[in-house]
């Protein structure tokens, strides 16, 4: 059976087993920041056409989640020639204030696996010192492989304070530091976090790393997490070792939050964008 027929049959079966109509599937994809027309979905399940473009291949990864089939169940039927290729993060710099500098730094990074890592959970724990400085940032990721091969995660950190010492990167669980780029003049740091094993399709991993500032760390006026792809769960906890800030704004909806020594943001099915807090002393 040709691959396009295998894919169409598997997609039809998954849709039938899930009990969702195409309009409902389209709505679910839209909630994840993915736009696919009803006509396209219909063509895919009948075998008239198949996903070919990068955005379409990313949509298939989300379809696997929506239809509750194992990661890679549909995408692997499209064959290796149709899987997303290249260094996706070369498009990611649009998130950053000086995109050309970040883009150039990413040229030496291995980023081809990122689109094949499903973001199950992202948890950030931020500590602000009693002197109101940025003390440390600890991140915990739960990732699931959509195909065989993922072996690393690329993390990008940006500071609004240029020409200050950048934090030290420490790995805490199931990973080690690979290539590392530090640019204090532009205020960013990029590092590869190499997994302790190569993931096979359907395997998951929990990794943790920490960014620790020196005594010359800048004053803290907020923390934000930028999401390029959907994430099933996000948890952010900001702890102030001293007095809380005078005012706080939650970035997800630009709403005011009651100042406290602990700020908490918990969200499910997070779409691409920015979450976090900004505050004033």
Q: Which residues pair with 231 in a beta bridge?
A: 119, 270
Could you give the dihedral angle defined by the CA atoms of residues 167, 280, 99 and 177, in that order, rounded to the nearest 10 degrees? 20
Q: Compute how many other C-beta atoms are within 10 angstroms of the C-beta atom of residue 100.
A: 10
Pair of tokens at residue 165: 């010492």
- Per-residue CA distances from 102 to 117, 157, 209 (Å): 21, 10, 21
pLDDT of residue 4: 67
pLDDT of residue 79: 65
Q: What is the pLDDT along the chain (281 residues), one digit of tens a residue?
A: 456 688 899 999 999 999 989 998 988 888 777 888 888 898 899 888 888 877 788 788 888 888 988 777 888 888 654 443 333 343 444 455 455 566 666 766 777 788 889 999 999 999 999 999 989 999 999 999 988 999 999 998 877 665 568 889 999 999 999 999 888 777 788 899 999 999 999 999 999 999 998 766 778 999 999 888 889 999 999 999 999 999 999 999 989 999 999 999 999 999 888 899 999 99
CA distance 257 to 254: 9
Residue with token string 């969702």: 20
- Report if pTM > 0.75: no
pLDDT of residue 103: 67
What sign does the dihedral 100-104-109-113 (CA atoms) show? positive
pLDDT of residue 83: 40
CB 153 within 8 A of CB 69: no
CA distance 141 to 121: 6
What sign does the dihedral 7-9-11-13 (CA atoms) show? negative
- Per-residue CA distances from 176 to 21, 152, 196, 199 (Å): 44, 9, 7, 15
CA distance 236 to 257: 14
- What is the chain's percent helix, strand, coil content, to nearest 5? 25, 35, 35
Residue burial 164-193, b: 16+ Cβ < 10 Å; e: rest: bebbebebeebbeebeebbbeebbbbbbbb
- The CATH code of the domain at 88-280 is 2.60.40
CATH number 1.10.1060 is the correct assignment for the domain at 3-82: no
Hey, where are the domains in the chain?
3-82, 88-280
Using only C-alpha atoms, the chain has a radius of gyration, in whole angstroms, of: 20
CA distance 143 to 138: 16
């Amino acid at each position: 059976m040709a691959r396009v027929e295998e894919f169409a049959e598997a997609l039809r079966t998954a849709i039938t087993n899930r009990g969702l109509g195409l309009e409902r599937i389209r709505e679910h994809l839209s909630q994840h920041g993915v736009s696919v027309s009803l006509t396209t979905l219909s063509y895919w399940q009948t075998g008239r056409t198949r996903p070919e473009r990068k955005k379409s291949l990313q949509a298939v990864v989300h379809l696997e989640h929506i239809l509750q089939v194992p990661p890679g169940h549909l995408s692997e039927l499209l064959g290796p020639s149709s899987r997303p290729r290249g260094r996706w993060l070369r498009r990611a710099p649009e998130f950053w204030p000086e995109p050309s500098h970040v883009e150039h730094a990413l040229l030496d990074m291995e980023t081809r696996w990122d689109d094949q890592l499903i973001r199950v959970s992202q948890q950030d724990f931020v500590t602000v010192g009693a002197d109101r400085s940025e003390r440390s940032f600890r991140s915990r990721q739960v990732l699931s492989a959509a195909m065989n091969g993922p072996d690393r995660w690329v993390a990008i950190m940006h500071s609004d304070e240029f020409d200050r010492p950048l934090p030290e990167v420490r790995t805490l669980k199931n990973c080690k530091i690979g290539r590392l780029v530090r640019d204090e003049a532009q205020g960013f740091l990029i590092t590869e976090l190499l997994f302790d094993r190569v993931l096979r399709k359907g395997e998951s991993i929990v990794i943790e790393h920490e960014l620790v500032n020196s005594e010359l760390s800048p004053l803290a006026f907020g923390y934000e997490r930028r999401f390029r792809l959907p994430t099933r769960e996000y948890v952010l906890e900001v702890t102030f070792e001293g007095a809380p800030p005078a005012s706080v704004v939650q970035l997800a909806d630009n709403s005011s939050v009651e100042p406290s020594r602990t700020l908490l943001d918990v969200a499910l099915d997070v779409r691409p964008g920015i979450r976090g807090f900004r505050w004033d002393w």
